[in-house]
């Protein structure tokens, strides 16, 4: 229940804002691509908060961290609603994401520990519901609010949700009783937070400044250097904030890379599609929300199919089939134009949502296949970091592509080909995931497969009188 609530709240606040970006850009008198920093800053906050989540959960307990994260998330949501300019909104969104990053990994670690490996693919059916339902509700609700009310209400609606979730956690969530006294790895946190911040900020500023800008180059290079120092430091620390030694586990390393690519292409097409529909086709925000909704319905349906596919095909073939299908769906999006029938758009979105969810569930299940109970907590933080980093990279990459190619023609009209190229590049991320899948070994994830019951012997079936 706590995992469902936390993931729903976090995903809702990402997707609901994407649909409202044009309204935000008009209010603040900036272009829509530049307003994308509102999405990136939230994702960046998640990435910064996640590494510290496991340490906080071990130190103060899961319940306390969960409640603290919800309270701060709710308060910063209200702050976002009253922001007077884009820089203020960006800062409040950063802290909103930071608080959201606190409560996700600790609950995920509890979930992984609760279910044995062979049951985790089944548990993923439930876990997928909030991840898929939030974009559906967020896109439609965000479109309605942007068209009928002020965009600020997309943040104010978090107030009743946050209060209800906090009260539920206070009364019904048990304290796990686990307490650890390991010192906080300040240096590791500074390197992780600083490196990711500089890298993501540099990617985002490349949209308006260009890749030759000293600011962009300085941020990107500085981010890479800090992340390099993070690796060097964490591998030698006695109590690392991010125990990167877990990446020595082959199946966890490969599956995390696949998850990064899946979340990147999901975030990318969810970022481009609303812009295409509103900026090029002139559709309303509500229409965008309704037309992107079938992707979420497909994801929920795909999660239910994934269980049988996984046990029948095995992890490797499951991922190969579903990622190939994801590539096809993303490539089809590049063919959408103003004359495309609405039912066909719905069908493409439904299909793409289903096959990407099937791939995600398999990669998530294989990630923790051979980890010890002690490694699960650390791995949950790293896994969540990979997930949110992938989403941030997907949005930043597509923002850069749209700005680099130009979203208007020489005559000032919206350029459809730029958005179509964005979908083509998004499909390329699925190819990267496919290449990583070639390194998946079914033998390493054998523990996640259901063991077939042995047939009764004749003697057992027909006992002697």
Half-sphere exposure of 118 (CA within 13 A, CB side): 7
Tell me if the pTM is above 0.85: no
* Predicted pLDDT at 83: 92
Q: What region does 394 belong to: left with phi over 0, alpha with psi -120 to 50, or beta?
A: alpha
Q: Which of 50-54, 123-127, 171-175, 450-454 has the lowest mean pLDDT?
A: 450-454
- 385, pLDDT greater than 80: no
- 452, pLDDT greater than 60: no
Half-sphere exposure of 345 (CA within 13 A, CB side): 18
* Predicted pLDDT at 458: 42
Q: CA-CA distance, 346 to 290, in Å (whole number)?
A: 9
Q: What region does 210 belong to: left with phi over 0, alpha with psi -120 to 50, or beta?
A: left
Main-chain dihedrals φ then ψ at residue 460, nearest 5 degrees: -70, -35
Collapsed DSSP state (helix, strand, coil) of residue 408: strand
Q: CA-CA distance, 431 to 294, in Å (whole number)?
A: 23
Q: pLDDT of 393-431, one tens digit each?
A: 887 788 878 877 777 777 777 788 888 899 999 999 999
- 68, pLDDT greater than 80: yes
Mean of pLDDT over the chain:
81
User: pLDDT band for position 462 (50/70/90)?
Assistant: very low
- 309, pLDDT greater than 80: yes
- 459, pLDDT greater than 80: no
Q: CA-CA distance, 405 to 399, in Å (whole number)?
A: 10
* Predicted pLDDT at 271: 83
User: pLDDT band for position 126 (50/70/90)?
Assistant: low
Choose between 56 and 349: higher pLDDT.
Answer: 349
- 345, pLDDT greater than 80: yes
Say if residues 54 and 375 touch (Cβ distance below 8 Å).
no
Q: pLDDT of 250-290, one tens digit each?
A: 999 999 999 999 989 988 888 888 888 888 888 887 788 78
User: pLDDT band for position 36 (50/70/90)?
Assistant: confident
Main-chain dihedrals φ then ψ at residue 441, nearest 5 degrees: -115, 120
* Predicted pLDDT at 355: 93
Arithmetic mean of pLDDT, 63-72: 85
Say if residues 12 and 136 touch (Cβ distance below 8 Å).
no
* Predicted pLDDT at 117: 59
| DSSP structure class, residue 212 | T
User: Can you tell me which residue has the tokens 């990267």?
Assistant: 432
* Predicted pLDDT at 151: 86
Say if residues 369 and 448 touch (Cβ distance below 8 Å).
yes
* Predicted pLDDT at 328: 96
Q: pLDDT of 37-47, one tens digit each?
A: 787 788 778 77
- 456, pLDDT greater than 50: no
Arithmetic mean of pLDDT, 73-88: 92
């Amino acid at each position: 229940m706590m995992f469902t609530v936390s993931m729903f709240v976090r995903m809702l606040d990402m997707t609901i804002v994407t649909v409202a970006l044009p309204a935000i850009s008009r209010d603040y008198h900036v272009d829509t691509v530049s307003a994308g920093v509102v999405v990136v800053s939230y994702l960046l906050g998640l990435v910064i908060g996640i590494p510290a989540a496991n340490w906080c959960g071990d130190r103060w307990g899961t319940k306390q961290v969960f409640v603290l994260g919800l309270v701060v998330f709710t308060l910063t949501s209200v702050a976002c609603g009253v922001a007077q300019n884009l820089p203020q909104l960006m800062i409040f969104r950063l802290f909103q994401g930071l608080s959201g990053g606190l409560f996700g990994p600790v609950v995920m670690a509890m979930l992984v520990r609760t279910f044995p490996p062979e049951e985790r693919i089944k548990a993923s059916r439930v876990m997928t519901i909030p991840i898929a339902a939030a974009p559906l509700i967020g896109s439609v609700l965000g479109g309605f609010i942007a068209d009928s009310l002020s965009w600020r209400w997309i943040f104010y609606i978090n107030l009743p949700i946050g209060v209800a979730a906090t009260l539920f956690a206070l009364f019904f969530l048990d304290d796990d009783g686990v307490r650890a006294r390991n010192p906080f790895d300040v240096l590791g946190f500074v390197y992780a937070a600083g490196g990711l911040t500089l890298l993501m900020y540099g990617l985002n500023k490349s949209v308006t400044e260009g890749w030759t800008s000293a600011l962009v180059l300085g941020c990107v290079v500085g981010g890479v250097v800090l992340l390099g120092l993070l690796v060097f430091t964490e591998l030698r620390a006695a109590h690392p904030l991010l125990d990167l030694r877990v990446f020595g586990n082959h199946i966890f390393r490969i599956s995390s890379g696949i998850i990064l690519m899946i979340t990147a292409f999901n975030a990318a097409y969810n970022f481009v599609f609303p812009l295409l529909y509103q900026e090029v086709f002139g559709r309303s925000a509500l229409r965008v929300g309704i037309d992107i909704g079938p992707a979420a319905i497909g994801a929920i349906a795909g999660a239910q199919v994934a269980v049988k596919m996984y046990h029948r095909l095995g992890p490797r073939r499951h991922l190969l089939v579903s990622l190939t299908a994801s590539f096809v769906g993303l490539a089809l999006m590049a063919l959408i134009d103003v004359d495309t029938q609405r039912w066909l758009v719905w069908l493409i979105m439904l299909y793409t949502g289903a096959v990407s969810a099937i791939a995600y569930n398999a990669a998530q299940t294989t990630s923790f296949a051979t980890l010890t109970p002690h490694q699960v907590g650390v791995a949950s933080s790293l896994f969540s970091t990979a997930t949110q980093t992938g989403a941030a990279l997907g949005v930043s990459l597509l923002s850069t592509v749209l700005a680099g190619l130009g979203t208007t023609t020489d005559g000032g009209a919206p350029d459809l080909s730029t958005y179509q190229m964005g979908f083509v590049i998004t499909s390329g991320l699925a190819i990267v995931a496919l290449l990583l899948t070639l390194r998946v070994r079914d033998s390493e994830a054998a523990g996640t497969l259901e063991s077939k019951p042995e047939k009764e012997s004749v003697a057992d079936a027909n006992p002697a009188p």
